[in-house]
Amino acid sequence: MNKLCKLSYLIVFSFLISCGGDDDGGPDVGGPTGPGLPEASASYDLTFTTNFTEANNPQDYPTNASFGTIIAITHAPEVSVFTIGQLASQGMALYAQSGDVEGLSSFISTSLGEEGDGLFSVVTAGMAGPQATTSTSISITPTRTRITFLARMNPSPDWFLGVSSFNVVNGETLIDIEEIELRPLDAGVILGDTYEANDGVENAAIILYDGAPFGNGNPLTEPVANLTIERAN
């Protein structure tokens, strides 16, 4: 298992306003719900395992397929980086189009508050190949009990893998482990149904995308990656 790069940077924001709801990332954003634990403090290992092969996705398969820049975010329950069925924010659009982590972080900072209270933490790392296993660690605190995970698909118009606002609180305890299947999400920013497409700007909601070229034009049944969220201590 390859360890992801040490933190490229760590950004902690306080939020004066919130930007969405809970648990709207993908087909299995799941995570038990609960009232939150005032004493919650733990480390979690995130293991990202990709299986994006030409055999499983033969139509127009790119020779330079990869995922990244990978982002692991912990945040307060009242905040959300993206929500299926809603338009992508300006910052999320920047990330989905080009993997611009700095643009996403700057948008969050300038739009949603001043730094200081630790309600939002962004950990960035490198990229992953089409068949790879990488891992990184994050910290849960009493004010940050949700996890959002992002991995842009390269190349693509604006496709990405993601989990939004995963809740690590289960009643009065923290969960031990969760396995999540990841399928492509379309940010609704750039038109196109091929990996290299850029057919103009659209203004559509974020959706789970199962059209061409994935699965040779048939609905995608197999995940292109899996994310394991496991408590380390």
Query: In the predicted model, is pLDDT for residue 34 greater than 60?
Result: no
How far is the C-alpha of 19 from the C-alpha of 6, rounded, in Å? 28
pLDDT-derived band at 6, boundaries 50, 70, 90: very low
Res. 185 pLDDT band, cuts 50 70 90: very high
CB atoms within 10 A of CB 215: 18
Pick the closest to residue 71 from 110, 117, 104, 114 (CA basis). Answer: 104
The mean pLDDT of the chain is 81
| pTM as predicted | 0.82
Could you read off the pLDDT of 40-91 as tens digits, one per residue? Answer: 789 999 999 999 999 888 889 999 999 989 999 888 887 778 999 999 999 9
- Is the model's pLDDT at 217 over the cut of 70? no
Q: Return d(Cα 73, Cα 142) in angstroms, integer.
A: 15
Q: Which of 22, 81, 28, 40 is nearest to 169 (CA)?
A: 40
Answer yes or no: are the C-beta atoms of 224 and 183 closer than 8 Å: yes
Residue 10 has pLDDT above 50, yes or no: no
71: β partners: 124, 150
**Contact criterion met (CB below 8 Å) for 138 and 4:** no
Number of domains in the chain: 1
Give the pLDDT confidence of 115-130 residue by residue, as tens digits: 435 677 888 888 999 9
Residue 216 pLDDT grade (very low, low, confident, very high; cuts 50, 70, 90): low
Could you tell me which residue, 65 or 211, shows the higher pLDDT?
65
If one counts every other C-beta atom within 10 angstroms of the C-beta of residue 54, the result is 12
- Look up the CATH number of the domain holding residue 93: 2.60.40.2130
